[in-house]
């Protein structure tokens, strides 16, 4: 029996998935979260699907061993490679980010011309196009791989030292001529096609959403799958009767949510600094996971 007080497990190839964990904590303030960032093996985007699938299985099993009630694959590349595998293999409900992102985009688009910005792995899998066509067979999808966006965000996270900043409140951090030139170049296939909605199909891209919006134009709707994913998680927990708040209220107990983090990175201090910049709160409890431990799972 899954208990309402158990945490939600969330995993990503690194820190970017904290954008999803953040949306979860905003929408579900009573829920505890156990977040794993496989930072040492990041990026997943350029890797083969079979390798990403095996990493996702390892992290998924690790989280499932730690008593979670639901798992969110916050990483788009891992969702593309391992969503169905993890759904079949794990003993808890599994939610990915692609289907919610596609749904939000379909709902927002009036022209039915939708752009997808993602990693090479996600684009190659065609998962967003399939999810979009499943929801609306008439949509025209243009997919763009933008691996340089991941690199740019990673470099900023690693060296920016944004100890007291927050990407949501400091979008100007990425306001440089180099970033604009890169965004203009990589988004070129999305221009002049009547596209009115673009899905940010990679955890890192919301950090560049101000720059992406400036290039694509104000009338293009930018969809961050994190928000819709958080709504789906809420609805799933509610329907299964395992939403923390409602169950606690029934019992008259109110437990404070706890946030725990684990990473395969050897540098916990950098994970904490960059993590706070992405998550918006201190990462108080961080533990290290040895890759050798994951590889035995």
The residue ranges that bind ligand DGL (CB under 6 A) are 12-13, 16, 42-45, 75-77, 119, 122, 150, 202-204
Judge whether 106 counts as a catalytic residue: no
Bridge pairing between strands 113-118 and 197-201: parallel
Residue 188: count of CB within 10 angstroms of its CB: 11
Q: How far is the CB of 252 from ligand DGL (least distance, A)?
A: 40
| CB nearer ligand DGL, residue 6 or residue 97 | 97
CA-nearest of 99, 102, 266 to 198 is 102
Query: Can you name the residues that pair with 37 across neighbouring β-strands?
Result: 12, 263
Q: Which of 42, 106, 187, 202 is catalytic?
A: 202
Q: Which is nearer to ligand DGL, 98 or 242 (CB)?
A: 98
DSSP state at residue 285: E
Residue 278, token pair as written in the block:
């992405």
**Which of residues 205 and 259 has its CB atom nearest to ligand DGL in the complex?**
205
The active-site residue, picked from 42, 75, 106, 187, is 75
Tokens 């730690």, residue located: 66
Which is closer to ligand DGL, CB of 19 or CB of 30?
19
75 is catalytic: yes
Distance separating alpha carbons of residues 112 and 176, to the nearest angstrom: 32
> Which residue's CB is nearer to ligand DGL, number 7 or number 45?
45
Cβ–Cβ contacts within 10 Å for residue 246, how many?
Answer: 13
**Beta-carbon count within 10 A of 75 CB:** 35
Q: How far is CA 120 from CA 47, 149, 202, 259, 264, in A?
A: 9, 11, 10, 31, 23
- In whole angstroms, the minimum distance from the beta carbon of 119 to ligand DGL comes to 4
What's the CA gap between 29 and 227, in Å, rounded?
14
Contact assessment for residue 125 and residue 146, using Cβ atoms and an 8 Å cutoff: no
Give catalytic residues, as residue numbers: 75, 202
């Amino acid at each position: 029996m899954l208990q309402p007080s158990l945490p939600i497990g969330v995993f990503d190839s690194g820190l970017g998935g904290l954008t999803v964990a953040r949306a979860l904590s905003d929408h579900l303030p009573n829920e505890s979260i156990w977040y794993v960032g496989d930072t040492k093996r990041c990026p997943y985007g350029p890797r083969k699907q079979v390798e990403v699938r095996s990493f996702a299985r390892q992290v998924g099993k690790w989280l499932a061993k730690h008593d979670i009630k639901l798992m969110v694959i916050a990483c788009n590349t891992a969702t593309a490679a391992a969503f169905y595998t993890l759904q079949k293999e794990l003993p808890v409900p599994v939610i990915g980010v692609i289907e919610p992102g596609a749904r939000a985009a379909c709902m927002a688009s009036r022209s039915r011309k939708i752009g997808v910005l993602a990693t090479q792995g996600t684009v190659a899998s065609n998962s967003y196009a399939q999810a979009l066509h499943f929801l609306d067979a008439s949509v025209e999808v243009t997919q763009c791989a933008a691996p340089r966006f991941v690199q740019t965000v990673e470099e900023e996270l690693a060296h920016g030292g944004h100890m007291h900043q927050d990407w949501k409140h400091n979008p100007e951090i990425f306001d440089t001529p180099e970033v604009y030139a890169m965004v203009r170049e990589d988004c070129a296939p999305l221009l002049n096609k009547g596209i009115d909605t673009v899905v940010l199909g990679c955890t890192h891209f919301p950090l560049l959403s101000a720059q992406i919006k400036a290039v694509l134009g104000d009338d293009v709707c930018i969809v961050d799958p994190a928000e819709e994913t958080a709504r789906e998680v809420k609805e799933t927990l509610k329907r299964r009767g395992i939403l923390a708040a409602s169950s606690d209220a029934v019992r008259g107990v109110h437990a404070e949510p706890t946030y725990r983090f684990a990473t395969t990175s050897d540098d916990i201090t950098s994970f904490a600094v960059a993590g706070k910049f992405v998550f918006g709160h201190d990462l108080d409890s961080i533990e290290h996971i040895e890759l050798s431990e994951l590889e035995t799972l």
